[in-house]
Amino acid sequence: MSTSTNPATSTPPGIHVDAVTRWFVEHVDRAVAPLQFSLIAGGRSNYTYLVDDADGHRYVLRRPPLGHLLPSAHDVAREHRIISALRSTSVPVAPALGFCDDPSVNDQPFYVMAYVDGLVLRNADDAHLLSDTAKVRASESVADVLADLHALDVDAVGLGELGKREGYLERQLKRWYGQFQQSSTYAIPAVHDVHDALLRRLPEQHGVSIVHGDYRLDNTMINSTGDVIAVLDWELCTLGDPLADVGLLLVYWPEPDDPNPPLGAAASSAPGFLGRQALRTRYAQRTGRNLRDLDAYVAFGYWKLACILDGVYARYRAGAMGDDGYDWRLLEQQVPLLAKSAADALEGSS
C-alpha cells in the first residue's frame, strides 16, 4: 500500500495463512491462491498487511493488533463500514473489498481493501520523495481533503448513526481522562490542569461532521505530484466537531524551525511544506468556518495524545504489549512534553 512496506520472508504474526487464503478465494474477486502476506504496520494500532496473490494482484488486509485491546478501540468492522460509505464521495479512500467477522478464520475480524500505489510520508527523511512543488501541493491537498470530509452530509452518505452528534469535546474529555486516570503510573499535573481548564471553557461546537480522529500527513497516501489519493486509518472516526480534526492536524504538523516537536520530526518539518498558518488559512477559505477558537482545539489535540500515549506507556510497562522492538521508555519524556504543549496552546487561546 506504500513504498515503505517491509516484506517478510516468513508469514508475519496475526495471519492464519490457510484459513485466510480460503476466505480470500471465496470472497475477494480475482484473488488466486497461494497468497503471500507482508506486514506493513503493526504495534499499537490495527495491523496492516500487504497481500500478493499468485496472479500478481495486490490487496491490503487490516486486523486488530495482537495482545491487549482497549474497549471499543481497533474496531475494524467500523473502519470497513466507513470506507465503504465514503467510496462514492469526494474523499479518497481505498476501495473496500470484503469483511470477515468469523473468528474461526483468523481469531479476530479483518477486512480487505484494494491496494493503492502511493507514498506514505512518515518522517522528515521521507520528504525527499517529493519535489518542492509536490510538497506545496501535498500541504494544500491535506487541507482540502479534510475540508471535503467535513462538508459531507453524514445522513446522505449513510453514516448518520456512526456516533452521537453533539457534545463531542465533552465526551472526548471524559473518555480520555478516564483512561488516563486508570492507567497513569506517574504524576503529570499538566494533564489534570488542562482537562479542568478545557472543561471550564469549551468552545461552542462548530456543527456536526464526520471526524476522522487521527488525521495527519502520514495517515494519508500521496502520489508523486502531491495529491492525497487515499485517507488511511479510520479506527477513531466518529461524528462530532470538525475543528477537532483541524487542531490535531496542526499538532502533527511541525515546521522546520520548531526546536523540539513533541511528536518528533514529521515530514512537514522538512523544508518545502506549507506552515501551520497556511494550512489554517486554506481550510478556512475552503469551508468558510471561523477558526478563532482553534488554539483550544490544538490544546485538546496535544492533551488527547498525552492521555493516549500514557496508556500505551502503562501497557508496555506492565508487559501487556509484549516485546515488539519499540523503545517505549521514550514515552516517559514524550507524554509530559505533550501535556506541556497542551498547556502552552491553551494559554495562547485565552
Residue 278 CB neighbours (<10 A): 14
Q: What's the CA gap between 277 and 291, in Å, rounded?
A: 11
Q: Write down the pLDDT at residue 183.
A: 86
C-alpha 200: how far from its chain's center? 28
Cell 452521537 maps to which residue? 164
In the 3-class helix/strand/coil scheme, how is the chain assigned residue by residue? Answer: CCCCCCCCCCCCCCCCHHHHHHHHHHHCCCCCCCCEEEEEECCCCCEEEEEECCCCCEEEEEECCCCCCCCCCCCHHHHHHHHHHHCCCCCCCCCEEEEECCHHHHCCCEEEEECCCCECCCCHHHHHHCCHHHHHHHHHHHHHHHHHHHHCCCCCCCCCCCCCCCCHHHHHHHHHHHHHHHHCCCCCHHHHHHHHHHHHCCCCCCCCEEECCCCCHHHEEECCCCCEEEECCCCCCEEECHHHHHHHHHHCCCCCCCCCCCCCCCHHHCCCCCCHHHHHHHHHHHHCCCCCCHHHHHHHHHHHHHHHHHHHHHHHHCCCCCCCCCCHHHHHHHHHHHHHHHHHHHHHHC
Q: What is the pLDDT of residue 326?
A: 81
pLDDT, mean of each 10-residue run, the chain (350 residues): 46 93 96 96 79 97 76 78 97 97 95 96 95 98 98 97 95 95 89 96 94 97 98 94 98 93 92 97 97 96 95 84 79 93 86
Residue 4: the pLDDT is 42
> Considering Cα of 83, then 89, then 95, then 97, what sign does the dihedral take?
positive
- Contact between 61 and 80 under an 8 Å Cβ cutoff? The reply is no
Q: What is the pTM of this model?
A: 0.92
